[in-house]
Chain A
């Protein structure tokens, strides 16, 4: 075949696609070549010269990380000559690299250290004083630079330039005087800056939060999922002595987050290690919250909730596991006897929840994150993705910048992604329905009038871009459907767009962008007013917003799991007043939040780092989280709290393991059929196309 090339490496023949790098071909044969600057996701530069190999026909050694394969190429790797070159390169790099491994955070997991042990010289011949610089230099409040240790592989600069497209750091000076620096007066503010720390093959870039907190060999690693947004990035929780979390690292999952994490997720261990974590249940006695036993607290909570009966309400959380949310709605519906359950207290327009639920149940949202880069055009509606779901921002940048795909970006404000859009459609706030109808009319060829503040030619250009593509990804924020005025019309217009495109033989995938790590899961497991698990219709109930609105009248008792309405961005005062009108407020959380201060009973629960369970992300990929550290004090997992409360109430909640709850979910929710911990596996299981 013309697109394939056969070459010989160390006497072994291999056929690889044209354009493959020698180092990648060698990797396929299992031949190890030491590298520093080379990284699978970055463009090759050949900066460190460590990966030298001998290629027949070339008079001098070649860098295998930036040499492409050629037909009949003969490469020698495991020869004394090449080994000698590697050793010399390492000795050269170590001339200026300090041997302060004992105090370096990287010592123990350092590629330079590992390669030196494997291929390097046994001793140093360098007798002079090494370079000295001020250290560490803060590039931002999170990233510190130790210039002495830098070996100038430029991975950090290349990541910021190629992947994040936020070139806040650069290489200053030339040659021997090279160093990494920020621009004067402009700190390293990229929201992906933490990735440079992980990419750094030495201890030059350091995390200010992890610095000196643990040595790599003292760390226990637990595979988990980041709970901070709907993407569900795969992470490892690194903890010390099963007591506290020292850092989060990215876990490679090429279908979700590739190798990356955003800073919001990466540097978020402080709430787990909070010294003010709740360790005992609290019950309000004589107007003050006082420590109590679990039995006492749960008895008081149950009494209050059951007294309210159908006037009770339960608000779960999009940041808690499927298992906790499932049990929570079951407990509310069966034990307390109320239909008022919700996972959020966002304001939603009438009927939007139902419209969304039926759209989800009919598998309208079938998008896959990894297909974003495959599609020719991306239509992104109503979400500042760079802020809401940062990792999807990287996927879009990859599609637009690296693969030349088209982005149609619609958002009222000029968000970061606007500069990649062709066209950028800035509609007016509150006119989402009009705007999407205009776009749908343009795509379907129906006549329309510009009402939403977007120029006609921009909408026409957008519809041309969408129509001329073979594969279109439509991404729509859940808030655009649920919170916007006439959100149901947004959904209708979207269905119209999808249908018109499909009738032109354009492949369409639609993604619902949700903000919580488990918003999708909370809806799936029936924590919705009016819907049972699997979107089966049930008796109507109040939404979270309505429950707070009607507190004191229609609602006399509330059980809030893992949410903090008293610190809501826009409605703090109204919510605080509402919470004070309740006869019974039960708050289940890991710290004494603003909401918990108004509670009658506070139940200390575990964070995600202490919990076993599953999250369902924005593409409906179910992924596992695992407990990394021991539970703090007398706190309990959400599921255990609900099971205990239910059994105190005399209900039959017999689960001895979290997996049994998941089994029940998979038997109840049709979309989760056959899902078990084993079936989910380390990289999650995509369920978006299941009815």
Chain B
């Protein structure tokens, strides 16, 4: 019986010494994601800084998890957020409910919302998991590459 034990332990030790390591030392080291990885949403802007989102709520309509809330309002003189008449005054995504299916991206008629490989979305409270518009929107005027997430990190 002891012989079998040693034999089995031998297999374990052999694998430990010879095979390639699969563990990654996160957060010092980050996993390379696939080119089409879908994680956190980003709301894009036009080149002139106006928001692409027109607040049409089609993303919320397409969302199978019902995790998007859009409340629209009208662009007015001196307070223009997007081209056209309508913009999203409130845009919230509940990241706990989101299943990252990408239907919102699919439904968007103005290509305003995209899912990027930004997977570091853990928070300490449930409330903090409701991402608001200013968290989702691309910064302007100085967007950084990491704002869109990097597939090769």
Contacts and interface: CB of A to CB of B under 8 A. Distances in A.
Interface of A: 100, 102-103, 107, 135-136, 211-213, 215, 217-218
B61 A218 contact: yes
Nearest to B73: A212
A211 B56 contact: no
A215 B59 CA distance: 12
Interface residues of B, number: 16
Interface in B37-78: 54-58, 60-61, 71-74
30 contacts: A100-B84, A102-B54, A102-B56, A102-B58, A102-B109, A102-B110, A103-B54, A103-B55, A103-B56, A103-B84, A103-B85, A103-B86, A135-B85, A211-B74, A212-B55, A212-B72, A212-B73, A212-B74, A212-B85, A212-B86, A213-B71, A213-B72, A215-B56, A215-B57, A215-B58, A215-B60, A215-B61, A217-B61, A218-B60, A218-B61
Contacts of B84: 100, 103
Nearest to A217: B61
B88 to A, nearest CB: 10
> Which of B58, B73, B84 has the largest number of chain A CB atoms within 10 A?
B58
Contacts of A102: 54, 56, 58, 109-110
Contacts of B110: 102
Contacts of A218: 57, 60-61
A144 to B, nearest CB: 10
A218 B60 CA distance: 9
A100 B85 CA distance: 11
Interface string B74-114: 10000000001110000000000000000000000110000
B151 to A, nearest CB: 30
Contacts of A212: 55, 72-74, 85-86
User: Closest 8 interchain pairs by CB?
Assistant: A102-B56, A212-B72, A103-B86, A215-B57, A102-B109, A217-B61, A103-B54, A212-B86
Contacts of A107: 56
Nearest to B69: A241
Contacts of A215: 56-58, 60-61
Contacts of B109: 102
Contacts of B72: 212-213
Nearest to A146: B85
B16 to A, nearest CB: 55
B128 to A, nearest CB: 21
Contacts of B58: 102, 215
Given A102-B58, A103-B56, A212-B73, 7 more contacts: A103-B54, A136-B85, A211-B74, A212-B86, A215-B56, A215-B58, A218-B61
A100 B73 CA distance: 16
A218 B72 CA distance: 13
A136 B76 CA distance: 12
A215 B85 CA distance: 15
Contacts of B85: 103, 135-136, 212
Contacts of A213: 71-72
A218 B68 CA distance: 11
A107 B57 CA distance: 11
Nearest to A211: B74
Contacts of A135: 85
Nearest to A135: B85
Nearest to B110: A102
Most chain A beta-carbon neighbours within 10 Å: one of B73, B85, B109: B85
A58 B74 CA distance: 50
Nearest to B57: A215
Nearest to B61: A217
Interface in B109-152: 109-110
Count chain B CB atoms within 10 A of each CB in A100, A102, A211, A218 and give the residue with the most.
A102
Nearest to A215: B57
Contacts of B54: 102-103
Contacts of A136: 85
Nearest to A103: B86
A102 B84 CA distance: 11
A217 B57 CA distance: 9
A211 B75 CA distance: 12
A217 to B, nearest CB: 5
Nearest to A99: B109
B66 to A, nearest CB: 10
A158 to B, nearest CB: 28
B79 to A, nearest CB: 14
A446 B86 CA distance: 70
A165 B2 CA distance: 103
A107 B72 CA distance: 14
B150 to A, nearest CB: 31
Contacts of B74: 211-212
A256 B57 CA distance: 36
A103 B82 CA distance: 12
A102 B88 CA distance: 12
Nearest to A102: B56
A212 B76 CA distance: 13
B29 to A, nearest CB: 43
Nearest to B72: A212
Nearest to A241: B69
Nearest to A100: B84
A107 B86 CA distance: 14
A485 B61 CA distance: 61
Contacts of B71: 213
A135 B74 CA distance: 12
A211 B56 CA distance: 12
Contacts of B61: 215, 217-218
- Most chain B CB within 10 A, of A100, A212, A215, is at A212
A586 to B, nearest CB: 37
A107 B61 CA distance: 12
A148 to B, nearest CB: 11
Contacts of A103: 54-56, 84-86
B62 to A, nearest CB: 10
A213 B60 CA distance: 14
Contacts of A100: 84
A583 B110 CA distance: 64
A246 to B, nearest CB: 11
A136 B86 CA distance: 12
Contacts of B57: 215, 218
A211 B86 CA distance: 10
A115 B86 CA distance: 25
Nearest to B54: A103
A203 B103 CA distance: 26
A215 B58 CA distance: 9
B131 to A, nearest CB: 18
Nearest to B86: A103
B92 to A, nearest CB: 12
A273 to B, nearest CB: 13
Nearest to B74: A212
A652 B116 CA distance: 63
B52 to A, nearest CB: 12
B51 to A, nearest CB: 13
Nearest to A240: B71
A136 B75 CA distance: 12
B136 to A, nearest CB: 19
